[in-house]
Amino acid sequence: MEITQTTTTASTITPQTETSEAVLSSDFETFLKMLTVQMENQDPLNPTDSSEYAQQLATFSGVEQAVLTNDLLSSLMVQMTSTGMAQMADWVGKEARAAVPGQFDGSPITIAPNPAAIADTVELVVFDADGNEVQRSEIPKSTDPIEWAGTDTDGTPFPSGVYQFQVVSSSNGEVVLSETADIYARVQEVQSENGSSVLVLEGGISVLASDVSALRES
């Protein structure tokens, strides 16, 4: 499976830096011309203090350094992102665990519940892509992964599509915790968006790499 990399490469960064430097050079020449004209036309009886010229030069130099520093930081960020993408290459084909919807295609979906410790009853609630509840069933009070077969009580399979899973923990008949369940889904692609690594899972579901809590062999 290919890894799509949408970051800007180093070859495209160099022209941008050169352009910035060219603009700064042009602006600096203009600044020197203006400074020269200012010196030539100053009042000889009341000349401008030389410290003012030094301050102007120092101010322009500071702006120049700030622009060049920003260019350097941008280049470093791109290089770091590229390195991170390379390190995540082996994620493709593996199963990532995250609190995201799952793509059901007839094969069971592995769910990793995390019920409340004080719960005496735990339920798995399943919603379809439109947010409609399609199934509710009691599950063990455990953090061990379970398999959702995607079938109704009479064994009829649910239609293929995206389903959301919620774990509801209750104590003495009252809900104490209700949260989106983590599932395991296979990583199909790794992308870079705005400097962050994004995983594309089965069904085109995207999740930030930073939101993945576990990774396992498919």
Cβ contacts of residue 101 below 8 Å, gap of 6+?
A: 129, 162, 163, 164, 165, 183, 203, 205
Q: Dump strand ranges (E) for 128-210.
A: 133-139, 146-148, 161-171, 174-180, 182-193, 196-201, 206-208
Q: Strand ranges (DSSP E) for the chain?
A: 95-98, 102-104, 109-112, 121-127, 133-139, 146-148, 161-171, 174-180, 182-193, 196-201, 206-208, 214-216
Name the range with the highest mean pLDDT among 8-12, 109-113, 189-193. 109-113
Pick the CATH number of 103-182 from 3.40.50.10540, 1.10.3720.10, 1.10.238.10, 2.60.40.4070: 2.60.40.4070
Confidence tier at 153 by pLDDT (50, 70, 90):
confident
Domain boundaries, the chain: 10-87, 91-95+184-216, 103-182
Q: pLDDT confidence of 22, banded at 50, 70, 90?
A: low
Residue-wise pLDDT tens digits, 59-114: 766 666 766 676 665 554 555 445 555 677 788 889 999 999 999 999 999 999 99
Full-prediction pTM beyond 0.85?
A: no
